[in-house]
Amino acid sequence: MKYSYLSIDNNIIEDSLKSSLSNCKNLSTKVKTDDKLSCLSKAILMDKIEFVEYKSENESNNSQEELTLKLPKIKNGQTSNEPTNSNQSKDKLFEKYLIKNEWTLQTSQITALRNMGNTCYVNSTLQCLIYTPSLLNYLNIYHAQNCNRPRGKCICCDLYQLIRVCLYGNYNKMTKIISPSQFIAKLKSVAPNFRSHQQQDAHEYLRQLIDKLRICSIPLDKINRHLSKSEIRDISETTAINCIFGGVYDSIVTCKNCNLSSNTKDNFMDLTVDIKDRNIFTIEDALKQLIKPEVLAGQNGYYCSK
């Protein structure tokens, strides 16, 4: 049996899990506990799903073990509770709780971006980023105050200036259109394989742009240190850009005969979901379908070491 979970950090979910399980005093078997977790996973999907330990002061140790949310075992008998690329680096660049996905600076301004010649893929990508409040809050509150890169050499600062013009600029109010020529001029630095004035893929551009934003969100003093590739990778996974756009895909495979479980966690910056299913109408539906438990058998089956 394979279970998949999406984890997009939000402290509300931990409280939700604990609150939900506090009402389950009659659970006494792992089967019932797993059924309860399945229901919770569907109900609390969009923000974060993670395993937490439930402890009861009124029950014996054995009962507590029965009610503990099962963390998959690894072969050495320990549990795996970190992504494959775990953020164990001592240098943690940004705390996730600082991300605020709300408009702290109010604006009712809606701005169009002029097509500079086959730049619609850039414009559509920029429009999505411009109206992402968590990104604006990070750039405005943290990055703009602390960036130590030379002027014109930071894509985060360039994007921040564009966002400020679009949301709060004093351009021609009659047209409400601006030309993002200065930002598009940096196309080669963002996507070296893209050619100007040619049609390109918006998703591919977004991925490369986010990657550049992530690099520029790392202070120069961190990059200039003599760090190994793995240390740089670990540091880059704790940036604010990762906190805003990234998540963790948690896949659990459990043997139905002996209940031996293996756990794989992978960081992601985007997900591929099914939109052709007739029962899928929203993004929430697509994500629920993505993490729906499935039975692995035949060629898709796993070999159990026991």
What pLDDT shows up at residue 121? 94
Q: Which of 42-56, 98-112, 155-169 shows the highest mean pLDDT?
A: 155-169
**What pTM was computed for the model?**
0.64
Domain residue limits at 163? 96-216
Q: Does some domain include residue 222?
A: no
Question: What average pLDDT does range 87-92 have in this prediction?
Answer: 52
Least confident of 26-30, 67-71, 120-124: 67-71
Q: Does some domain include residue 231?
A: no
Task: Tell me: do 256 and 168 sit in the same domain.
Answer: no
Q: Does some domain include residue 234?
A: no
What pLDDT shows up at residue 174? 60
Q: Does some domain include residue 230?
A: no
Question: What average pLDDT does range 81-110 have in this prediction?
Answer: 67
pLDDT for 176-217, tens place per residue? Answer: 788 898 898 888 889 888 888 888 999 999 999 999 999 888
Task: Tell me: do 84 and 187 sit in the same domain.
Answer: no
Residue type for 31, please? V
Average predicted confidence (pLDDT) for the chain: 73
pLDDT for 47-60, tens place per residue? Answer: 443 434 434 444 43
Q: How far apart are CA 29 and CA 34, in angstroms?
A: 9
Task: Tell me: do 161 and 103 sit in the same domain.
Answer: yes
Task: Tell me: do 160 and 253 sit in the same domain.
Answer: no
> Please, what is the Cα angle at 241 between 215 and 81, to 5 degrees?
105
Q: Which residues of 88-109 are buried (b: 16+ CB within 10 A; e: fewer)?
A: ebeeebbeeeebeeeeeeeeee
Phi-psi bin for 215: left (phi > 0), alpha (psi -120 to 50), beta?
Answer: alpha
Task: Tell me: do 134 and 207 sit in the same domain.
Answer: yes
Task: Tell me: do 81 and 103 sit in the same domain.
Answer: no
Task: Tell me: do 120 and 209 sit in the same domain.
Answer: yes
Question: What average pLDDT does range 38-52 have in this prediction?
Answer: 42
Q: Does some domain include residue 223?
A: no
Q: Number of folded domains in the chain?
A: 2
